[in-house]
Structure 1
């Protein structure tokens, strides 16, 4: 049996340096403001959970942490068994954030539902990062 895997991809220009964007995707209180509460740390091998509310606590493990360029971690270990990748590239006076949620199994009803739902949801979630950075910068 062949498994059909799918990926969701987004990219967002953020008018902030890569170090600032990196901070927003690796600092628990900031990640909670744009997505979900959790104890993320950009350390390879760090196991953490994200509280996805009605979807439960999702187990994750950091696979790559190359500040301020690349963060990759597993998502929903034992469930969706997928991977989230945040790649940051300087662009003009800011940073282009490339996001990929891959490994979603379209042959599994949970994977298909996640692909369809998250495919609609991820662009808005990623877009919120810029607002969180702007608020954090204006707060001090």
Structure 2
């Protein structure tokens, strides 16, 4: 049986949930902290992210909105990479979930990227572990401009 790991990032943000929601669900804003995309906050919407190509992988991440509860929860699939890449860019079939909880003075944001299989996704897990931390800082920068 293959083990599965998750990356979890939590932040207390000094912004209300509706403002955080905008940063997570408006395509132009997502592009500022993550990647170019064609995202829409609608369950069933299929969209893509474009990352830097690596090896045989063209850099496209195929996604689908799995859950969308206004100002509270956003979950989408995250599928990318190719089987021929043995390290970064290896096939990854995972999910990303953002949970927003109102707290005094702002919002508690929890992000979980789940489904990293070991050993085939170890390189992606290591790279994205620190990457999601930087991305969370990017979300905060975008929030400061809204």
TM-score, structure 2 normalization: 0.87
Whether 1:25 and 2:24 are equivalent positions in the alignment is: yes
Gaps of 5+ in 1: none
Q: What is the aligned partner in structure 2 of residue 134 from structure 1?
A: 144
Query: Quick check: 1:96 aligned with 2:95?
Result: no
Worse-superposed segment, 82-91 or 123-132: 123-132
Following TM superposition, the consecutive aligned residue runs of length 4 or more in structure 1 with deviations greater than 6 angstroms are none
Shift of 1:77: 5.1
2:38 maps to which residue?
Answer: 39
CA distance in 1, matches of 2:8, 2:139: 16
Give me the CA root mean square deviation. Answer: 1.2
Instruction: Answer yes or no: is the 8 Å Cα contact 2:66–2:77 preserved in 1.
Output: yes
Report the CA distance between 1:107 and its aligned residue: 2.6
Name the residue aligned to 2:8.
9
Q: Which residue of 2 aligns with 1:73?
A: 76
- Alpha-carbon deviation of 1:13? 1.3
For structure 2, the 5+ residue unaligned runs are 82-90
Task: Quote the offset at 1:95 in angstroms.
Answer: 0.4
Question: Given that residues 47 and 62 in structure 1 are in contact (C-alpha distance below 8 angstroms), is that contact kept between their aligned partners in structure 2?
Answer: yes
Specify which structure has the higher proportion of helix. Answer: 1
Residue 96 (structure 2) pairs with residue 84 (structure 1) = yes
User: Aligned to 2:53, what secondary structure does the other structure show?
Assistant: helix
Q: Could you tell me how far 1:7 is from its partner in structure 2?
A: 0.2
**Match 2:123 to one of 99, 106, 113:** 113
Q: Deviations over 1:58-79 (max 9, x none)?
A: 1000100001100000002573
CA contact (8 A) 1:7 1:104 kept: yes
Residues 34-68 of structure 1 deviation map (CA, whole Å, 9 limit, x = unaligned): 11110111111100000112350110001000011
Distance 2:130 2:140 in 1: 19
